[in-house]
Amino acid sequence: MSTDAGKIDDASERGVVAVDTHYSAGSQEPVQAFASQVVREDALTLDIEDIGNYTLMWTPTSNQQLAQGYTFEDGVLGDVEQPEGLALALGFCMSEGIISRLDALKSVAVCPDNPAMIRIQLKNPQEVQVQRKNVVINSSCGICGPREIIDDNALGLSLVTTTLQLQRAQFAPLMTDMRRQQSVFDQTGGSHAAAIFGPDGKIIAVAEDLGRHNALDKAIGLALLQRGSVAGCGAVLSSRLSLEMVVKAVRTDLEIVLAVSAPTSLAIDVARTFGVTLCGFVRDDRATMYSHPQRIISE
* The 3-state secondary structure of 195-221, one letter per residue: EEECCCCCEEEEEEECCHHHHHHHHHH
Q: Does residue 144 have an active-site annotation?
A: no
> Which of 141, 144, 233, 279 is flagged as catalytic?
141
Q: Strand 166-167 vs strand 296-297: parallel, antiparallel, or unpaired? A: parallel
| Beta bridge mates, 263 | 241
How is 50-98 classified by DSSP, letter by letter?
TTEEEEEEE---S-TTS-EEEETTTEEEES-SS-HHHHHHHHHHHHTTS
Ramachandran region, residue 264 (left: φ > 0; alpha: ψ -120 to 50; beta: rest): beta
Q: Is the dihedral of CA 172, 174, 177, 183 positive or negative?
A: negative
Neighbours of 131 (CB within 10 A): 12
First-residue to last-residue Cα distance in the chain: 52
Catalytic site positions: 141
